[in-house]
Amino acid sequence: RTVSKVEEEGGEGGEGGGEGGVTKRVMEVEALWQVVIEGFEAVWPEGRTKVDGYSLGDAWHHPALVGYKQEGYKQEDAVVPFHKLSQWLTYSLMEPLQSAGFAIANLKLMTGLPEYRNGGLLLDLGMLVPKHSSVTSSSHAVESEVIVEWRALIVACLDVIGQKVREKLGKTEAELPLVAVLQGGTWTAGRKIAKEKRGGLPPINIISDGTVF
């Protein structure tokens, strides 16, 4: 279901490709994601958000979502999923798979990485503005409302940046997926401006155990 052979246009003959045909294998990103998110479920420390007994890893509650309780409301409806390291690993696995001849389908299902380089760029350039001074002057736990809200905004803003970059360059989403904008753009720029402003430190001090960032 997740890995299949497809023949590109321009060839003749059957599945083997025929004269002038090119046969490629396609892997759906959902399959790769399932391997990562389920295969590494046991690595998350105790205390992480759980649903039906399963640890969700990098996924956190935000109080703003609790107010939207309706009939059929479930605990997971108040959870904001980020999965930064899991997505990073998934992105990293794509390159060797592509080198091995696989085309990765449905890349648009992946999100931007909600981490401090991308988020720092948004703050340092003024795209996001803290509501009060304690956001940048105090330390915050990774599960705190400030950090969860910041990271959710990072994901949303990266989608906007990706679209603006594609419009500027005249590229489609297939030609310039979000992962390319992150790797060669926002992450690198965030790291550079952080070094110029604070010697490399992020604008918000995050208390983390190393399993999120």
Question: What pLDDT is attached to residue 9?
Answer: 38
Q: Which pTM value belongs to this model?
A: 0.84
Q: Which residue has the tokens 């489609």?
A: 172
- Rounded distance between C-alpha atoms, residue 114 and residue 152, angstroms: 7
Structure-block tokens of residue 147: 């950090």
Question: Does residue 162 contact residue 181 with C-beta atoms inside 8 Å?
Answer: yes
Helix axes 145-169, 116-124, angle to 10 degrees: 80
| Whole-number average pLDDT of the chain | 86
The list of the chain residues with pLDDT below 70 reads 1-23, 67-76
Question: What pLDDT is attached to residue 2?
Answer: 52
Amino acid at 167: E
